[in-house]
Structure 1
Amino acid sequence: MILANEVTKRYGDAVVVDGLSVTIPKGGITSIIGPNGAGKSTLLSMLARLLKMDGGSVTVGGLDVTATASDVIARRLAILRQDNHLSARLTVRDLVTFGRFPYSRGRPTLDDKAHVERALAYLDLGALADRYLDELSGGQRQRAFVAMVLCQDTDYVLLDEPLNNLDMKHAQSMMKTLRRATRDFGKTVVLVLHDINFASWYSDFVVALKDGRLAAAGTVDEVIREDMLRDIYGMEIQVHAVAGQRIALYYE
């Protein structure tokens, strides 16, 4: 599991994450939701040790992210940030191979190459493997970056807005792939999402933030509720049951 205890982040006088404590269960998909400025990406970055905390602590699978060596953390936890643009001209295969760096240190073995091919196939990128990233659509590039993260072969995968640049069809395909990864490989996937319907449909656990604080955490049935969403987003939202799942409709 991932345990955040009294995590705080400040920028000058502005408190972006305010003494937040939450336990994210091991296994399945956990979605972090909330309005813009709620602190979602900041929290994710602190969980992954990309951003220094001003207070509190985080453990991932029992490892203190602040005190544990980088190479050890990199074999337990992988993260994909929103700003995942590269200036270097790389092929898809080159990019995905970066996911093996914690193991190969830039000298891929046969085992590393097998992981790369498996990740390419898993994200249906085989036909694009030798194409350059700048020749791909935004959605294809996003799939390539997710393949790189999965290729790192960690227990925990953190994704910041992985549905960026994806239309509805490809966003659905991405969520199905991530859910399948939790089942096929026993991974724990934690992702920041703006679309609460994707969070509702595919998540096992939901963490909702508001103004840098924890507004709610629990199962979809516990969090995706009209009263809860009204308080979090400050607007009227209807929740309906469809095919055994909850979906939200917004209205003025």
Structure 2
Amino acid sequence: MITLTDVKKAYSSQTQIGPVNLEIPAGGITALVGPNGAGKSTLLTMIGRLLGMDSGQIEVAEMDISTSKSKDLAKIISILRQENHFITKLTVRQLVGFGRFPYSQGRLTDEDEEIITKYIDFLHLGELEDRYLDQLSGGQRQRAYVAMVLCQETDYVMLDEPLNNLDIAHSVEMMRHLKEAAEQLGRTIIVVLHDINYAARYAEYICAVKDGQIVAFGTPEEIMREEVLTPIFNTRIQVIDGPGGLLACYH
């Protein structure tokens, strides 16, 4: 479980996150949704300790992220930010291998190599593992980044807008991979999504953020209601029950 207690982050007198009190259950996918500038990515990066909070407490698997050692947290939490500045003259396999750093400190063992191969295969990157990152399409590169994060083999995986720059087909493919990772590998995945419909289709829980506050948290059935979504996104949203599940239509 991830627990946030009275978490605050202020950028200015006009821009503030919190106070946030939230419990995210272990297991499955929890999607953070909300309008631009709501504070979704800020919350995610604070949970991953890439951004400090001004006050409050965050615990991940009963570990206080403010007081735990980085080397210990790196075996519990992995995070993929929107901006990734890896050298493009890395091969896919080399990139995925970075996920083993908390364990190998850069000296890969035979066991590390087996784990790297496991996640290359899991994300269907076998034919691409010797290609350089700048030789990949956006969708292929994003899969490689996610393979790297999964290769860290943490119980908790944080992904900040992993569908950015992906078309519909590749977005669906990515969400299916994440669903499989949650179900088959037993990971707890926290993901920032722009499209509420991907959250409804693939997430066990949806956490809606607006103006730095948690305004709704629950299952897709609880959140995918017109009276809940319309004030969050400041536009009329109609929810229909389609063949693939609940679907939000913007008006």
TM-score range, shorter chain: over 0.9
Counting only pairs closer than 5 Å after superposition, residues 227-246 of structure 1 correspond to structure 2 as: 227-243=227-243, 245-246=245-246
Counting only pairs closer than 5 Å after superposition, residues 2-41 of structure 1 correspond to structure 2 as: 2-41=2-41
The residue that corresponds to 2:65 in the other structure is 65
The residue that corresponds to 1:75 in the other structure is 75
The residue that corresponds to 1:132 in the other structure is 132
Distance in 2 of aligned mates of 1:85 and 1:243: 40
The residue that corresponds to 2:111 in the other structure is 111
Distance in 2 of aligned mates of 1:152 and 1:87: 19
The residue that corresponds to 1:86 in the other structure is 86
1:90-129, Cα deviation, whole Å (9 max, x unpaired): 1110100000000000001111111100110011111110
Structure 1: gaps (5+ residues)? none
Is contact 2:88-2:133 (8 Å) kept?
A: no
SS in 2 for 1:247: strand
TM-score by length of 2: 0.98
Distance in 2 of aligned mates of 1:19 and 1:171: 32
Letter of the aligned partner of 2:73 in structure 1?
Answer: I
The residue that corresponds to 1:147 in the other structure is 147
The residue that corresponds to 1:202 in the other structure is 202
Distance in 1 of aligned mates of 2:16 and 2:141: 30
Letter of the aligned partner of 2:157 in structure 1?
Answer: V
Is contact 1:30-1:207 (8 Å) kept?
A: yes
The residue that corresponds to 2:176 in the other structure is 176
Letter of the aligned partner of 1:5 in structure 2?
Answer: T
1:45-84, Cα deviation, whole Å (9 max, x unpaired): 0000000001111000010011110011000110000001
1:2-21, Cα deviation, whole Å (9 max, x unpaired): 00111111113243312011
The residue that corresponds to 1:50 in the other structure is 50
The residue that corresponds to 1:158 in the other structure is 158
Is contact 1:8-1:15 (8 Å) kept?
A: no
Is contact 1:142-1:165 (8 Å) kept?
A: no
Structure 2: gaps (5+ residues)? none
1:182-228, Cα deviation, whole Å (9 max, x unpaired): 11111000000000000000010010001000110011111111011
TM-score by length of 1: 0.97
Letter of the aligned partner of 1:185 in structure 2?
Answer: L
Is contact 1:16-1:42 (8 Å) kept?
A: no
The residue that corresponds to 1:122 in the other structure is 122
SS in 2 for 1:87: coil
Is contact 2:5-2:20 (8 Å) kept?
A: yes
Runs (4+) of structure 1 moved beyond 4 Å? Answer: none
Distance in 1 of aligned mates of 2:110 and 2:166: 33
SS in 2 for 1:72: helix
Instruction: Kindly state the Cα deviation for residue 244 of structure 1 after the two structures are TM-superposed.
Output: 6.2
